[in-house]
Structure 1
Amino acid sequence: MDEFTLRNVNLQQVQNQIRHRTDGLSSSTLVLRRGQSFTILMNYDGRPFDPLKEKLIFRIVLGPLFVEVPVSMSGQPSPSQWSAILERSAPAPNAPRTMSVSLFSPASSSVGVYTLHLRVETRLSVKTHLLGQFTLLCNPWCQADSVFLPSEDLRDEYIRNDIGLLFKGSPGSVVSRPWSFDQYEKGILDICMKLLQMSPQYQSDMRKDLLNRNNPVYIGRVISAMVNCQDDKGVLMGNWSGNYSDGVNPSNWSGSADILRMWSETQFRPVKYGQCWVFAAVMCTVMRALGIPTRVVTNFNSAHDTNGNMVIEEFYSEMGKKLSIGRDSIWNFHVWVESWMKRPDLGQGYDGWQVLDPTPQELSAGMYRCGPAAVKAIYEQKVNAPYDVPFVYAEVNADVHSIIMRDGTILATNVDKKRVGALICTKRPGSMLMQDITSEYKTEMMDRSIRMFSTDVRGGEGANGRVAPQGIAVSLQLLKAPVVGENITFNVTITNREAIPKLLRKHVNAQNKEYNRNPTGTFWEAHDDLEIGPKKTVTVKHEIIFKEYMQKEFMEDYLVNLAVVIEDMKSQERLLASEEFNICSPALNIQIQNENSVIINTQQVATVTFTNPFNVAVSGELTIAGSGLLEEKVQMRVTIQPRETMRSPVRFIPMMMGAKMLHASLVLMNLSTVLRGFKTINVQEA
């Protein structure tokens, strides 16, 4: 009888990827999750397979690492090592002979692109066959995996969902910004795997790197460093200068695929440019693609404590102008990611969400990266826990000392223990709303006794200064959320707490600022004297007209630092109140023709509408994009007269089922701002 001869092997890509929940991920290889078996079919000629006469041995190769796995006739897979079990053999006469083999990877396998070989040993020969490649990812559905997430709803949100919201602005006026994570876009998974290969760790010691890739803590640190390009061939270059002429303004990105493709297609040259939300959104894409549950988180009033003393010092002139003194700063918002994983290195109680921050700010073990810092360790003030817990703790908990100065002399100091980390939020699973997660990071009033380093700031009593006066109180209040094109109105409320009249001098100052730095020049100010009777309260209304703040060029994160200093003319005591806020752009509106019956592979029509509220004509470029809905972005130039309504229809054919997002942006040329809108669409089966 003829000798057993292997004819071909079918890796059953479609069936295996559905079982492994990797369907939709685009790769040149079969895509699998670790800790789960996959089945391959082998067709052969000759006599029926006889395990006494033929040996089948799989060789599973990852770089310089490999394991040999003989096919066994029966039994259960071992949870700790690779195994291969013969499921069935079809010896019917004249029919093609088929064998089905189930291969199993342990849940602690390394993430990477593997090559699969099969060696057939018979009495007369030894033949080796190259079967192909497969990409192995983490498996949050597998209880033995260190990224296991128990809830199916949360797995849908933090692994499979490819749309999201990034939150920006200020705590009192949160802006929702749509983002397309694009992990299902063509070739994106392969680029994410390439990102691991381009890392300094892989380049310097491939074997060690591949062995360490079984651990999501290690993977998170590698990706956190590789998303920025500070010390490697990373993806994005940061730029906060306001000049983006040789690249893309960070505000113009709306999804991760364009960025990752540009990096890959330019032989891994850094993409220009990113800021914190872009770094975080790209990292979220890469981590979700690798199978590690991840969400994007915004911390409002995020402290950047450069000297590690848990105190942020802000300096103002006696006229209410914020001064650029000192290296500490408070970002109006800062965006990072949290990834879900076990932390056996920290002992019991620190599994779960971990902060990872790819925005290059400070070095961590010699590289620009941050985390994973266990959210529970931050909450418990466990500042000695790896990785980078003290830095993140300060971002959400530092005290703010506001100091009024004249000619280097401190006139007054105010301490605010609540401003930093005023709101920490993420997208709510299964909806396009915000979820407040502040209480996961901090109790209502954290115990401020913890200090890692001594500080010479004397709790409100500077060496040359005075404690903030108790005789008067002052507050600022915006009368409505500011919108581009409208005037800004606000009240200054002053209370005389004493039983004597007071003569006061009031200085109000408005400055432009970027979200991550101190303000630039004053664009509006008001100074006047007022008398206030004993135990009286006075409210003064102010208005900043549109053309006064529009003289400064701005983009979508247009922020204002508003401050008032009240000076008691008799005692010379001074009191400061300040408010930072964003001026929102008007929104685009998207309507779907048959919103409740959007069916896969069936043409639909969406209409983008916008009524120009400005008293000048506006022109710019309208871009409509939607992963799984549009194969390519739709772009068009538009000009809209004052009070005119633009209506732009767009035809699209949904290619994937589930929740998808159509988003539109209009970059205005003459007003130098970006208008946005988005619509989530539930694509149903035919």
Structure 2
Amino acid sequence: MPRTRRRRAVPNADDGPPATRSRMTVGDSGVSLSEGRHKLVTDEKFMEMNKVLNNIDEENGLKFIEADFHIEDNRKDHHTLEYEHKDLIVRRGQPFTLMLKFDQHVYTSDLITLQFCIGDRPLQSKRTVVRVPVLFHSSETLSTAENWSAVINERSGQSVSVTVTPSAEAMVGKYQLFVETKRNDKENRQQAKSPIYVLFNAWCKDDAVYMADDDLKEEYVLNEKGRLWRGTVNNFGGSPWNFGQFEDVSLDAALYVLQKAKITGPALGNPVIVTRTFTAQTNSMDDRGILEGRWAQDFPQPSTKPWIWTGSADILEQFMEKKKTVKYGQCWVFSGVLCTLCRAVGIPCRSVTNFESAHDSDGSVTIDVHWNEAGEPVEELNDSIWNFHVWNEAWFKRTDLPSGNDGWQVIDATPQESSGGLMQCGPAPLSAIKAGNVYYNYDTPFVFAEVNGDRIHWEVKKDGSMECIYIEKYKVGRFISTKAVGSNEREDLTSAYKFKEGSDAERAAVRHAFKFGSRREQKVYKPEAEDVSFKITIPPVVATGKDFNVQLDLKNNGNSIRDVKATLTALTSFYTGVPSDRIKCQTFEITLDPDQEKSIDIDVLADDYMELLKPDALIQVYAKARVQQTGQAFVREDTVDLSPSMEVDVLKLQAPERVNRSEPFELRMKFTNPLKIPITKGMFRIEAAHIVRSKVIPIKKPVGPGAEIEVVTELTSARSGKKEIIVGFSSDKLDGISSSIEVYVPYSY
């Protein structure tokens, strides 16, 4: 009797109806824009041609029935228990165990093949179909970094226990499993009901993201809580942030944006490509990415102001719900989301803040500042120095670069300058940045300038020509900060980015980088005559509504009379260093006898600046002085922080130290208005991993000066362990206030 052979097409679970999809883009005329460039194939035709994606049902053959993925045991071994996804999630290069059940007794003569498929159109030639023969003896296995392996541990009647080890270079993503059998000349192939997710593995020595220190893995892969450092060089602090990489939306979003960017095949296993793609997809500039940046004073509604966000999950939830860009973010929000994406797929990552962060716009690895002959800044021509900028570091080997460039790599999702035609930045090796090796990929010159570029001051003559009058060598790259491992304290990373300021090694790195910049032929470094010393006194922090004074002290250290022309200017500004409205500008002419000292100053009055102040509450003060006889110049720019003075603890939180899983508990929030005016449109925003994704509680009544308001809400934890609840408060007059409290949820065994 002839055997029957039935094939059934099994499309990927995420695909639409096979007959309705094809790899094509249609123009206005109805003609495919891909015609002539690609052979168009419908999904139905593709499945028909790619026979390994079809189920085979043959009578009397050995037929796969179901798989027990031992999800809890495998996920515990692979450090993936915390993911909200219910499916099997494993890390590459590390074994996991499956129990396969068949419709008949399994013999050693039976041939079993596991087939893992990834992507919407998997092909074996593209390595997106991985066929792994199941071996009956471990001595037969060919397990290497490049290969998958599968070995039977135990055979009992109709079931076999199989240990599978994905390649340490496996593509990261969602795989569909097929189990194929061959007994004599009868073949069968069936698809398992559930997918398997494969992630990068910081615990595997053969993985490019391997990290030896367990404490570092705990912090940079597994910790869902973080701190993002913000402020000015003289007044900064760490704001709590919920990365939430184990929320179901985080892994979904990470894999979705890789698919959206058309990252396929082996590129999905390369952390260089994956992280670079994440930087482009996190912002919306080129490809309708996750988050739109906005640095203007107004924020069109509906939108969320950048300083109201306290975590990544709510942003990703909004993005994935409509597949539309979320409004709005600024640098620390981009960094928080990028860190979530990296950790979600298993890449060790941390957020890093650089205070006095330069923005080099022309690849010169220097920062240009321009002045007119009257001593006033020409803001329209200047490169900016941000009060702070937050980017990320990701940890992996750089097999694309010479040795010595492994480890931490700078990646940045904030749209600043185009790289490779897209708003993306990195990965740039920290070791190359420190040494000034700006010729190594990717975007190393830009990052070098951010942390160690010299600031070149130009005087613009009336005829338009320019003269280099002064070089600031130690302005940028201050207090480079990240959250410390195992605590919420600040860890200083400055020495990882550059040698000690002014040291021979630091100056050598700057000279080396300059040789490869766009200005290498320009002779801006030249000896300077200096016999007048200058000292400027600017208060770093001033309470909003207070007057302040700026003073410049001058001393003639030479033996001849010196005439000095000096200008002091104050302007409101954004935290990006971009000035806005001029408050005051005054020019002085001073004559100094030998060894004489004099001072000049300006008063900046609250009445002058209050109506002009921007949301960041910052004022930039510029000072420029030029010695007429020698051409010696002095220039300085500093920031005055006028953030509201928090003389009281304005946001207090109270919750039980221990709460039981799945049982409600109370969170008590108390806000005190520190201002001398009432505030309206108050709002509490609560976020905590596995407790609440985002909960908004509006305050309906105004809160008077010094008045207190208390709100109690009920929360429930779905997971055990230490949980951090982050609460933000915003209003019409006061924004960006946040606090956090930890609760412990005991494990139940």
Q: Which moved more, 1:334-343 or 1:521-530?
A: 521-530
1:12 CA displacement: 2.2
Equivalent residue for 2:210?
148
2:456 is the alignment partner of 1:415: no
Correspondence for 2:692 among 630, 635, 640: 630
Preserved contact between residue 138 and residue 152 of structure 2 (Cα < 8 Å): no
Preserved contact between residue 414 and residue 460 of structure 1 (Cα < 8 Å): no
Equivalent residue for 2:580?
520
Correspondence for 1:580 among 623, 626, 639: 639
2:138 is the alignment partner of 1:75: yes
Equivalent residue for 2:379?
324
> For 1:381-396, what aligned pairs fall within 5 Å after superposition?
381-396=436-451
Q: Secondary structure at the match of 1:264?
A: helix
Equivalent residue for 1:374?
429
Equivalent residue for 2:44?
none
Q: Which runs of 5+ in 2 are unaligned?
A: 1-59
Equivalent residue for 1:50?
107
1:439 CA displacement: 0.8
Code of the residue aligned with 1:675 in structure 2: it is I
Preserved contact between residue 568 and residue 602 of structure 2 (Cα < 8 Å): no
Equivalent residue for 1:277?
332
Partner Cα separation in structure 2 for residue 574 and residue 449 of structure 1: 22
Correspondence for 1:644 among 697, 703, 707: 707
Partner Cα separation in structure 1 for residue 581 and residue 522 of structure 2: 30
1:342 CA displacement: 0.6
Q: Secondary structure at the match of 1:430?
A: coil
Preserved contact between residue 6 and residue 44 of structure 1 (Cα < 8 Å): yes
> For 1:348-497, what aligned pairs fall within 5 Å after superposition?
348-403=403-458, 407=462, 413-444=469-500, 445=502, 446=506, 447=508, 448-450=510-512, 451-452=515-516, 453-454=519-520, 456=522, 458-459=524-525, 470-478=531-539, 481-484=541-544, 488=548, 492-497=552-557
Q: Secondary structure at the match of 2:269?
A: coil
Give TM-score, length-normalised by structure 1: 0.87
Give TM-score, length-normalised by structure 2: 0.80
Partner Cα separation in structure 2 for residue 135 and residue 252 of structure 1: 33
Correspondence for 1:196 among 252, 258, 265: 258
Equivalent residue for 1:345?
400
1:522 to 1:683, Cα distance in 2 relative to 1, 3 A: farther
1:602 to 1:549, Cα distance in 2 relative to 1, 3 A: farther
Partner Cα separation in structure 2 for residue 678 and residue 100 of structure 1: 46
1:107 CA displacement: 0.6
1:360 CA displacement: 2.4
2:189 is the alignment partner of 1:122: no
Partner Cα separation in structure 2 for residue 165 and residue 591 of structure 1: 18
Equivalent residue for 1:85?
151
1:270 to 1:12, Cα distance in 2 relative to 1, 3 A: same
1:319 CA displacement: 6.7
Q: Secondary structure at the match of 1:431?
A: coil
Code of the residue aligned with 1:578 in structure 2: it is E
Partner Cα separation in structure 1 for residue 690 and residue 399 of structure 2: 38
Q: Secondary structure at the match of 1:639?
A: coil
1:497 to 1:151, Cα distance in 2 relative to 1, 3 A: same
Correspondence for 1:16 among 71, 74, 87: 74
Code of the residue aligned with 1:39 in structure 2: it is T
Partner Cα separation in structure 1 for residue 521 and residue 280 of structure 2: 31
Code of the residue aligned with 1:511 in structure 2: it is L
Relative to its length, the structure with more strand (as a share) is 1
Q: Secondary structure at the match of 1:344?
A: coil
Code of the residue aligned with 2:156 in structure 1: it is A
Code of the residue aligned with 2:710 in structure 1: it is R
Equivalent residue for 1:235?
290
Partner Cα separation in structure 1 for residue 674 and residue 561 of structure 2: 46
Correspondence for 1:221 among 276, 298, 308: 276
Partner Cα separation in structure 1 for residue 693 and residue 661 of structure 2: 14
1:29 to 1:300, Cα distance in 2 relative to 1, 3 A: same
Partner Cα separation in structure 1 for residue 373 and residue 708 of structure 2: 47
Equivalent residue for 2:611?
551
Partner Cα separation in structure 2 for residue 458 and residue 180 of structure 1: 46
Q: Which moved more, 1:394-403 or 1:563-572?
A: 563-572
Correspondence for 1:37 among 95, 102, 114: 95
Equivalent residue for 2:243?
181
> For 1:644-663, what aligned pairs fall within 5 Å after superposition?
644-663=707-726
Partner Cα separation in structure 2 for residue 468 and residue 615 of structure 1: 51
Partner Cα separation in structure 2 for residue 140 and residue 639 of structure 1: 50
Code of the residue aligned with 1:31 in structure 2: it is I
Equivalent residue for 1:100?
161
Partner Cα separation in structure 2 for residue 571 and residue 5 of structure 1: 92
1:680 CA displacement: 4.3
Preserved contact between residue 405 and residue 412 of structure 1 (Cα < 8 Å): no
> For 1:587-598, what aligned pairs fall within 5 Å after superposition?
588-595=650-657, 597-598=658-659
Aligned residues: 661
Correspondence for 1:172 among 234, 244, 252: 234
Equivalent residue for 1:615?
676
Q: Secondary structure at the match of 1:68?
A: strand
1:545 to 1:661, Cα distance in 2 relative to 1, 3 A: farther
Code of the residue aligned with 2:497 in structure 1: it is Y
1:428 CA displacement: 1.1
Deviation per residue, 1:360-407 (Å, 9 max, x gap): 233323332121111101112112212222222222221112345674
Equivalent residue for 1:676?
738
1:609 CA displacement: 2.8
Preserved contact between residue 27 and residue 187 of structure 1 (Cα < 8 Å): no
Partner Cα separation in structure 1 for residue 138 and residue 443 of structure 2: 46
Q: Secondary structure at the match of 1:287?
A: helix
Code of the residue aligned with 1:341 in structure 2: it is F
Equivalent residue for 1:162?
224
1:642 to 1:397, Cα distance in 2 relative to 1, 3 A: same
Preserved contact between residue 155 and residue 293 of structure 1 (Cα < 8 Å): yes
Partner Cα separation in structure 2 for residue 411 and residue 525 of structure 1: 22
